[in-house]
Amino acid sequence: MTETMRIGTRASALATTQSQLVADQITELTGRKTELVAIATHGDTVAGSLASLGGTGVFVSALRDALLAGRIDVAVHSLKDIPTTPVVGIHLVATPLREDPRDALVARDGLTLGELPPGARVGTGSPRRIAQLRALGLGLELIDIRGNVDTRLGKVATGELDAVILARAGLNRLGRTEPITEVIDPLQVLPAPGQGALAVECRSNSEFVDLLSPLNHPHTRACVEAERVILAELEAGCAAPVGALAEVVEGDHALELWIRAIALSPDGVLSVRRSASGPLDDPIGVGQKLAAEMLAEGATELITHQMQESNTQHG
């Protein structure tokens, strides 16, 4: 038995809560003591919208650098933050059981999305959410916000905003589901690929590759692999207006994977929405099949348009 396992995490309350959940699972699985090591990432230390920061990898790179340098033994991420391009020397060893992947609305006076009046001020830092909310045509004023969960919830409590939209998974892990006024149906707003799932990474040559593999939840892994293939095939970053959600469902003869995805223009006027199903043991193939249909319908052009707009606004 070696010394205490050092687990790298972002410093926010949500990140440390999530990482502690994994740490507890590691201790239960291996009997090893763990220590959380807080690491400041680019996305935590630089102001500006997610799109202006470049989106891809801004919450991940510093943790991976610490992992490769040997300052930590394991890194825990929100899986939706991880770029789809693999990094040499780093292995995604496990995706534990996923939390609820849906988005959640926290609004004044207990209002739901459909009950918010036109012109209501709704905060979110996600281009994906903004585009899909615009596509619903509710006449909302969408405000780009960043900050931790308490900061965002506080903007509703003080009346600065009428509502905010957050990932339900984070609120649940923090024990903060009470303020939720509506869990948003994916038919209205599809979540980010990988939302609600955690990623446990270690060095590829580490003893922990085999040791921690039992933390992996096979159905979660299949779903998020299919969703992330959509991002990879569309060459879209974490901040692109792309939503995807895969689920394990009963097929005619066996369990199957069913996936829905959407790519939008930033204003929500144009979109490509598709679904597909296929074998549970071939999540990459199922995702690629769906991505090919979306590419044929012009999804990449929508995303490229988004990137060009972002560069124009923030360049």
Q: Model confidence at 237, in pLDDT bands (50, 70, 90)?
A: low
- 3-class SS at 186? coil
How far apart, in whole angstroms, are the C-alpha atoms of residue 234 and residue 208? 32
How far apart, in whole angstroms, are the C-alpha atoms of residue 252 and residue 243? 27
Q: Given this model, what pLDDT does residue 37 score? A: 96
> What is the pLDDT averaged over residues 294-313?
69
> Percentage of the chain surpassing pLDDT 90?
78
- Domain positions in the chain are 5-96+197-216, 103-183, 224-314
Checking if the pLDDT of 30 tops 70, the result is yes
List 73, 81, 103, 162, catalytic entry: 81
Mean pLDDT over all residues of the chain?
90
Q: Model confidence at 97, in pLDDT bands (50, 70, 90)?
A: very high
Q: CATH 3.40.50.1220: does it fit domain 5-96+197-216?
A: no
Which residues is 9 bridged to in the sheet?
Answer: 38
Phi, psi of 250 (to 5 degrees): -75, 120
What confidence tens digit (pLDDT) does each residue in 272-303 have? 999 999 999 999 999 999 999 999 999 888 77
Q: Model confidence at 53, in pLDDT bands (50, 70, 90)?
A: very low
Buried b (16+ CB within 10 A) or exposed e, 35-47: ebbebebebbeee
- Give the list of residues 6+ apart from residue 220 with CB closer than 8 angstroms, or none: 95, 96, 97, 98, 197
What confidence tens digit (pLDDT) does each residue in 136-182 have? 999 999 999 988 899 999 999 999 999 999 999 999 999 999 999 99
Count other Cβ atoms within 10 Å, centred on residue 249. 11
Q: Given this model, what pLDDT does residue 50 score? A: 46
Q: What is the DSSP string of 34-61?
A: EEEEE---HHHHS-S-TTTTTSTTTTTH
Q: Given this model, what pLDDT does residue 254 score? A: 92
First-to-last C-alpha distance (Å) of the chain: 51
- Asked if the domains at 103-183 and 224-314 fall in one CATH topology, the answer is no
**How far is CA 224 from its chain centroid?**
10
- E strand spans, the chain: 5-9, 34-38, 74-78, 90-94, 103-107, 121-123, 141-143, 163-167, 182-183, 198-203, 242-250, 255-264, 271-279
Q: Given this model, what pLDDT does residue 40 score? A: 84
Lowest-confidence segment of 22-26, 45-49, 117-121, 279-283 by average pLDDT: 45-49
95 touches 201 (CB < 8 A): no
Checking if the pLDDT of 56 tops 90, the result is no
Q: Model confidence at 312, in pLDDT bands (50, 70, 90)?
A: very low
Q: Given this model, what pLDDT does residue 54 score? A: 47
Q: Given this model, what pLDDT does residue 58 score? A: 65
Which is more confidently placed, 259 or 207? 259
Q: What is the CATH number of domain 103-183?
A: 3.40.190.10
Checking if the pLDDT of 305 tops 80, the result is no
Biggest alpha carbon–alpha carbon distance for the chain: 61
Which residues is 274 bridged to in the sheet?
Answer: 261
> Percentage of the chain surpassing pLDDT 70?
88
Query: Rounded to whole angstroms, what are the CA distances from 197 to 136, 142, 191?
Result: 26, 26, 12
Residue 81 annotated in active site = yes
Checking if the pLDDT of 197 tops 60, the result is yes
Instruction: Quote the pTM value.
Output: 0.89
Checking if the pLDDT of 48 tops 90, the result is no
**Which CATH fold topology does 224-314 show?**
Double Stranded RNA Binding Domain (3.30.160)
